[in-house]
């Protein structure tokens, strides 16, 4: 009785918890082809398992609470109904085996469905994991047209995407739950993952394999947009950074190129060409900084440059010492990197 009550409560709490909020990083709120199939499978399994749980707990409660056939003191090796019990247990095991087989088949079918897209014209992207940010590349046979960005993936809606991924340091795991399950990025291996976003929107994803100090702050955003918008974005990302026009920004660029920044970052169109940290050519066009940790605005960016260690302790960007004038002009320059 109590068991049934508790399990009923559990199921309702669970359902409420799952359906309560439309989240942008949720398994049960699918917006992609693969995630939708997995979501169906999840609910199938959820209900099969719930029914199995309720039946077993009901049988257990009845066994515990049922009237005793013999007085408590008496030891009897077997009961009168031993043969019946054997039959019931055998049937129960048979039902278990059959349901497990059913679940196996549905799992394999789902696995096949999400693996084999037959795309006419897929978009290829490359994702490289770093401690603790994501390098995103849109390769092109013409090297000058290759787009390199960080922590923000743009994909056209309704187009299959093949993601080739690897890691530069430790194992990371790419996971945008609204679109697809996760894929580990393993140094020394290259793996491919197919996915397709079905609805416009911005979906959050996060590293899912423990990768060191800032594993918690290694997020990215997947922006699904119409093909037109996507192509416009891609064209824009292909351009090199333009030299700034106003004096403050020029001073900022001068500072950028003569100080520590240039040791790690690239701004295409300038002499800054190091690929230790994220490519900053179009920094101002991104929504967030520090791998999805902070919204991209001058205040956050300034705080990040001066002392990123207070925001993401242990991250690879060193604290930087500069006076406020220099910082202002540097920020003005970075804001021009649209």
Partner 1 sequence: MKIHLILSTVLLLVLVACTRETRDFQQPAALSEPASGVHMSELHPGGAPVPKPITNPFESNAYGVSEGKRLYESYNCVGCHAHGGGGIGPPLIDLKWIYGAEPANVYATIVEGRPNGMPSFRGKIPENQVWEIVAYVRSLSGQLSKDVSGGREDHMYGKKAESSTPKENPKISRPLGNPVPEHKQ
Partner 2 sequence: MTPDPNISEERLTHVEVEHATDDDATLHQRLDKTWSDPSGFIGWFKQVNHRSIGKRYIVTAFIFFLLGGSLAALMRIQLARPENNFLGPDKYNQIFTMHGSTMMFLFAVPMMFEALSVYLVPLMVGSRNIAFPRLNAYSYYLYLCGGIMLFVAFFLNIGPDTGWFSYVPLSGPDFSPGKRVDFWAQMITFTEVSALAVAVEIIVTVFKMRAPGMSLNRIPLFVWASLVTAFMVIFAMPSIMLSSTMLIMDRLVSTQFFNPAEGGDALLYQHLFWFFGHPEVYIIFIPGLGVVSSVIAAFSRRHVFGYLALVLSLVTTAFVGFGLWVHHMFATGLPQLGESFFTAASLMIAIPTATQIYCWIATMWGRRPVLMTPMYWVLGFFFILIMGGLTGIMLASVPLDLQVHDTFFVVAHFHYVLIGGAVFPLFAALYFWFPKITGRMLSEAAGKWNFWLFFFGFNMTFFPMHILGLRGMPRRVYAYPPEMGWTAMNVIASLGAVLMTVSVLIFLANVFWSMRRGAIAGDNPWGAGTLEWGTSSPPPSYNFLHIPTVNGREALWDAAPNQAIVTGLRTDVREVLVTNYLDAAPDHRTEFPDASIWPFLAALATTALFIGSIFTPWAVPIGAIPVAITMTGWFWPGKEESRRRKATEKWAEEEA
208 binds partner 2 (CB under 8 A): yes
Interaction of residue 260 with partner 1, rule CB under 8 A? yes
Q: Do 226 and 198 touch, CB atoms closer than 8 A?
A: no
Q: Where are the alpha helices (DSSP H) in 239-295?
A: 247-258
> Which of partner 1, partner 2, none has residue 149 at its interface (CB below 5 to 8 Å by kind)?
none
Question: Hey, how many other C-beta atoms are within 10 angstroms of the C-beta on 138?
Answer: 19
Q: Is 210 exposed, middle or buried (0-12, 13-18, 19+ CB in 10 A)?
A: exposed
Token pair for 91: 């049937």
For residue 263, the 8-state DSSP code is: G
| Contact call for residue 192 and partner 1 (CB under 8 A) | yes
Residue 182 contacts partner 2 per CB under 8 A: yes
Q: Contact between 324 and partner 1 (CB under 8 A)?
A: no
CA distance 193 to 189: 13
Taken in order 39, 40, 41, 47, is the CA torsion positive or negative? positive
Question: Does residue 273 belong to the site contacting partner 1 (CB under 8 A)?
Answer: no
Total of chain residues touching partner 1, rule CB under 8 A: 41
Here's the x/- map for partner 2, 274-313, by CB under 8 A: it reads as: -------------------x-------------------x
| The one among 1, 12, 86, 235 contacting partner 2 by CB under 8 A | 86
Among 162, 170, 208, 223, binds partner 1 (CB under 8 A): 162
Of the candidate residues 130, 204, 251, 265, the single one contacting partner 2 (CB under 8 A): 204
Give whichever of 191 and 236 is closer to partner 2, judged by the CB atom: 191
- Report CA-CA distances (Å) from 43 to 19, 29, 145: 12, 12, 44
Q: Are 123 and 159 in contact (CB under 8 A)?
A: yes
**Under rule CB under 8 A, residue 18 binds partner 2:** yes
Residue selected from 164, 250, 270, 328 as contacting partner 1 according to rule CB under 8 A:
164
Should residue 184 be labelled a site residue for partner 2 when binding is judged by CB under 8 A? yes
Determine the Cα–Cα distance for residues 263 and 113; give it in Å rounded to an integer. Answer: 46
Tokens of 129: 């994991």
Q: Does 63 bind partner 2 (CB under 8 A)?
A: yes
Among 95-103, 156-164, 242-250, 271-279, the segment contacting partner 2 (CB under 8 A)? 95-103
Question: What single DSSP character describes residue 284?
Answer: G
Instruction: Decide whether 102 or 318 has the Cβ nearer to partner 1.
Output: 318
The reply on whether position 319 binds partner 1 by CB under 8 A is yes
83 sits near partner 2 (criterion: CB under 8 A):
no
Q: How far apart are CA 151 and CA 134, in angstroms?
A: 5
- Contact (Cβ atoms closer than 8 angstroms) between residue 194 and residue 117: yes
Query: Pick from 158, 188, 196, 173: which is nearest to 127 by CA?
Result: 173
Where does this chain bind partner 1 (CB under 8 A)?
Answer: 115-118, 121-124, 140-141, 162, 164, 188-194, 213, 231, 234, 258-260, 262-264, 274, 276, 306-307, 309-310, 313-314, 316, 318-321
């Amino acid at each position: 009785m109590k068991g049934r009550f508790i399990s009923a409560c559990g199921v309702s709490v669970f359902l409420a918890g799952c359906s309560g909020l439309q989240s942008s990083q949720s398994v049960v709120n699918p917006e992609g082809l693969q995630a939708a199939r997995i979501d169906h499978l999840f609910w199938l399994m959820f209900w099969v398992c719930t029914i199995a749980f309720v039946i077993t707990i009901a049988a257990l409660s009845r066994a515990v609470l049922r009237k005793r056939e013999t007085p408590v003191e008496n030891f009897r090796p077997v009961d009168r109904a031993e043969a019946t019990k054997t039959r019931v247990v055998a049937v129960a095991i048979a039902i278990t085996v059959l349901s497990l087989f059913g679940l196996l088949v549905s799992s394999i079918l789902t696995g096949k469905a999400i693996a084999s897209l037959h795309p006419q014209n897929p978009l290829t992207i490359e994702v490289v994991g770093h401690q603790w940010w994501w390098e995103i590349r849109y390769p092109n046979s013409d090297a000058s047209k290759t787009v390199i960005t960080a922590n923000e993936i743009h994909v056209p809606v309704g187009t299959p995407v093949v993601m080739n991924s690897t890691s530069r340091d430790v194992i990371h795991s790419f996971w945008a739950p609204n679109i697809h399950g996760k894929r580990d990025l393993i140094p020394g291996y290259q793996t491919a993952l197919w996915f397709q976003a079905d609805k416009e929107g911005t979906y959050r994803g996060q590293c899912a394999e423990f990768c060191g100090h800032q594993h918690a702050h290694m997020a990215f955003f997947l922006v699904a947009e119409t093909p037109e918008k996507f192509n416009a974005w891609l064209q824009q990302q292909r351009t090199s950074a333009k030299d700034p026009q106003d004096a403050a920004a020029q001073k900022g660029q001068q500072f950028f190129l003569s100080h520590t920044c240039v040791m790690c970052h690239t701004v295409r169109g300038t002499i800054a060409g190091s690929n230790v940290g994220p490519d900053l050519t179009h920094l101002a066009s991104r929504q967030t900084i520090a791998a999805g940790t902070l919204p991209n605005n001058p205040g956050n960016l300034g705080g990040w440059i001066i002392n990123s260690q207070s925001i993401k302790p242990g991250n690879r960007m060193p604290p930087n010492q500069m006076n406020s004038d220099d910082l202002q002009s540097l920020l003005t320059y970075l804001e021009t990197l649209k």
